[in-house]
Amino acid sequence: MSNQKLNIQWFPGHMTKAKREMQSMLSMVDMVIELRDARVPNASKNPLIDELVGQKPRLIVLTKIDKAEDEETKRWIQLLSNEYTVVVGVDVLHDNVKKIISENALFLMKEKRERQIKKGMNPRAVRCMVCGIPNVGKSTLINQIAAKKTLVTGDRPGVTKNTRWVKVNKDIELLDTPGVLWPKFEDEQIGILLAITGAIRDQVLPLEEVAYAALKYLKAYFPERLQEAYGVTIIENNYKLFLEIGRNRNLLQKGNEVDYNRTIETFMKDIRANRFGKITWERTDAVHE
């Protein structure tokens, strides 16, 4: 394993544009719905969103709970909740996300709407900006909510081909935004975690570095799952362990030698295919909010 320090910077021009658009659109909404990956709830947080959102009410939706550990997800929900923030976990493909989003958005905006009613006003639909880093399930969630007939496009300020309004019901409207990553990873561990879960392309980081980090974590927390998946004896030396995995998976090349690169690639594919079961790659007791 290389000891070379990772220098991770990945901020394409369209992401800079997306940040400007998000700033302009925040004035149009009442609250923010931020999607994060339940497997990496801290790493999938975008610091730019904290900076832009300020004290607006926020609903944090932890997606992919079907791939994360149930008890750890509960602990994350408790850790991330505060007076301005409600946190829920969802399986976007199987839960009633329309109901979950609607109920929690109305709960967050309840006091404001009640004040409007007392003043004799008829509260308009709550406008929510939906944001999150790429590959966190935002498009899937929006599509689950939005039948084609509910898509709203038009000349509202800030609406571009990269954004759309989605009418959930008479009380809730969503403003979809492009997925945004931040200018650089100050903490290389965040980049590693996002690479493990596939939030950033494998070409961005050295795949071997990512695989070694994932193997180390599995050895620490789920050694029995490694043994069950590959029929290996857990040993300290990661390079030799990968060779044993490659041999047991018959990932061989000429001369009956283990194809090391193919083994690394196969290992990462196995992680993303949930071969090891539900795994939360960040633990609440290791994160200081």
Q: CATH code at 228? A: 1.10.1580.10
Residue 29 lies in a domain: yes
DSSP 138-157: HHHHHHHH--GGGEE-S--T
24 vs 261 pLDDT, higher one: 261
Same domain (yes/no): 167, 224: no
Nearest Cα residue to 150 out of 134, 163, 168, 136? 168
Nearest Cα residue to 257 out of 265, 246, 270? 246
Same domain (yes/no): 18, 150: yes
d(CA 286, CA 280): 12
Q: Is 140 annotated as a binding residue?
A: yes
Residue 79 lies in a domain: yes
Residue 2 lies in a domain: no
- Is residue 76 predicted with pLDDT exceeding 90? yes
What CATH number did the domain enclosing 96 receive? 3.40.50.300
Structure tokens at 99: 């109901």
DSSP 48-81: HHHHHHTTS-EEEEEE-GGGS-HHHHHHHHHHH-
Number of neighbouring beta carbons within 10 Å of residue 131: 27
Same domain (yes/no): 129, 251: no
Residue 101 lies in a domain: yes
Residue 280 lies in a domain: yes
Q: Is 132 annotated as a binding residue?
A: no
226 vs 178 pLDDT, higher one: 226
Q: Are 21 and 162 spatial neighbours (Cβ–Cβ below 8 Å)?
A: yes
Q: Is 152 annotated as a binding residue?
A: no
Nearest Cα residue to 43 out of 281, 218, 207? 281
Residue 47's pLDDT is what?
74
Final residue in a domain of this structure, among 176, 194, 218: 176
Mean pLDDT computed over 137-160: 59
Same domain (yes/no): 162, 219: no
120 vs 147 pLDDT, higher one: 120
Residue 189 lies in a domain: no
Q: Is 138 annotated as a binding residue?
A: yes
Which pTM was predicted?
A: 0.85
Residue 266 lies in a domain: yes
Same domain (yes/no): 57, 130: yes
Same domain (yes/no): 72, 168: yes
- Is residue 248 predicted with pLDDT exceeding 70? yes
Same domain (yes/no): 172, 211: no
Same domain (yes/no): 251, 115: no
Residue 27 lies in a domain: yes
Same domain (yes/no): 86, 38: yes
Structure tokens at 248: 């047991």
Same domain (yes/no): 154, 74: yes
Q: Are 246 and 258 spatial neighbours (Cβ–Cβ below 8 Å)?
A: yes
Same domain (yes/no): 218, 257: yes
Same domain (yes/no): 37, 123: yes
Dihedral of CA atoms 231, 38, 132, 192 in degrees, nearest 10, equals -40
Residues 6+ apart with CB under 8 A from 219: 226, 234
- Is residue 40 predicted with pLDDT exceeding 80? yes
For residue 187, the Cα-to-chain-centroid distance in whole angstroms is: 17
d(CA 32, CA 131): 7
Q: Name the amino acid, one letter, at 219.
A: K
Residue 156's pLDDT is what?
39
Spatial strand order of the sheet with 164-167 comes to 85-89, 58-63, 31-37, 126-132, 172-176, 164-167, 151-152
Final residue in a domain of this structure, among 156, 176, 196: 176
CA Rg value for the chain:
21
Give residue for tokens 């690394």.
Answer: 264
- Is residue 223 predicted with pLDDT exceeding 90? yes
- Is residue 262 predicted with pLDDT exceeding 50? yes
Final residue in a domain of this structure, among 138, 155, 176: 176
Q: Say which DSSP state 164 is in.
A: E
Total domains in the fold of the chain: 2
Q: Is 136 annotated as a binding residue?
A: yes
Nearest Cα residue to 98 out of 134, 153, 143, 57? 143
Mean pLDDT computed over 126-139: 88
Q: Are 288 and 267 spatial neighbours (Cβ–Cβ below 8 Å)?
A: no
Q: Which domain holds residue 232?
A: 206-286
Q: Is 19 annotated as a binding residue?
A: no
Highest mean pLDDT among 137-146, 156-165, 239-248: 239-248
